[in-house]
Amino acid sequence: MKYSIIVGLLGLLMTLETTAQVSNIKDLNTHLNYISSDELNGRLTGTKGIDKAATYISKYFKSIGLKPYYETFRDTFYIKKQTVAYNVIGQIEGNDPLFKNEPIIIGAHYDHIGNSKAVDGDSIANGANDNASGSVAVMQLAYALKDSKPKRPILFVLFDAEEQGLLGSTYLAEKLKSEDVNPYVIFNIEMVGVSMLDKPKQAYLTGYDKSNFAKIFNEYANEEALIFSPQAKDYQLFKRSDNYPFFQSFEIPAHSVSTFDFTNYNYYHHVDDEAELLDTEHIQSLVNVWAEPLLKIANHSEKIIKLDN
């Protein structure tokens, strides 16, 4: 009898270790308000503002127990040999050595454009939706998954210099390839601060028909969490965010997820892209839906998510 009780308790503990937690919306609001604040002056690559953002994210990753993927959370690269830029990378180590070089990557770009055309004396393009919203979603997912013990490593990457032409993601993809690291899938988060007008609980996946990612993900979520967007295909959004360099380098399922549907937010690259206009409960609800499917994907022993030939 005692033996069976111990076995049952061990089984319960193993279940708890591999279950995603729910992150705190209070933390989400704190992160969003700071990253999109005037103090960071629009987070242009190479400025003091984005340096402060990198410090803030790095400290948060450390505070929740993530480990840096490289020597520090900042992975430095240079643009035209003069502008210093930083991807910020935290990780949950995988528990199966067979998959140590096959991580899943959950990412978003945290840079923005700095200043834009002034409105009522305000020239700071705060970039709350673009892409502080995606950045805080990554941070919330990191919290939700921090105590999990996945088979594959999970990398949480905040990309720099997306606005300069996907430079941070291009740099990391090339670097990982040179290190014989072959990511399994890429889940990149782009502009999720407000819900789609006609699909408030869903997000669309760019490159939806290029793999079976959405099919597998939705099965794990027990709902149609990720959907197809004709507009995303028409505007070729698959090629316009940080998923794309990984698709090019590795030919793997690499997608971005978004709720910006071209009708629900009027302040793209605009000084009025402020945190107060975003729906933080919406962002949190997405995180709560996404965490468990992403953990299940990180626990894949076989690569069942594949490109659609």
Distance CA 276, CA 290 (A): 24
Residue 3 has pLDDT above 50, yes or no: no
The 10s digit of each residue's pLDDT in 196-214 is: 999 999 999 999 999 999 9
Question: Is the torsion defined by CA of 55, 57, 58, 63 positive or negative?
Answer: positive
Give the pLDDT score at 51: 98
The 10s digit of each residue's pLDDT in 226-247 is: 999 999 999 999 999 999 999 9
Distance CA 90, CA 133 (A): 18
Average pLDDT estimate for 286-305: 98
Q: How far apart are the first and last CA of the chain?
A: 54
What pTM value is reported for the model? Answer: 0.94
The 10s digit of each residue's pLDDT in 162-196 is: 999 999 999 999 999 999 999 999 999 999 999 99
The 10s digit of each residue's pLDDT in 242-259 is: 999 999 999 999 999 999
Percent of the residues in the chain that have a pLDDT greater than 70, as a whole number: 94
What is the separation of C-alpha 17 from the centre of its chain, rounded to a whole number of angstroms? Answer: 22
Give the pLDDT score at 120: 94
Average pLDDT estimate for 116-126: 96
The residue length of the chain stands at 309
φ and ψ at residue 127, rounded to 5 degrees: 60, 45
Give the pLDDT score at 18: 56
- The CATH H-level superfamily of 40-298 is Zn peptidases (3.40.630.10)
Cis peptide before 131 (omega within 30 of 0): yes
Give the pLDDT score at 2: 43
Residue 265 has pLDDT above 80, yes or no: yes
pLDDT band at residue 6 using 50, 70 and 90 as cut-offs: very low
Mean per-residue pLDDT over the chain, rounded: 94
- 295 contact partners, CB below 8 Å, separation of at least 6: 18, 19, 20, 145, 148, 150
Percent of the residues in the chain that have a pLDDT greater than 90, as a whole number: 91
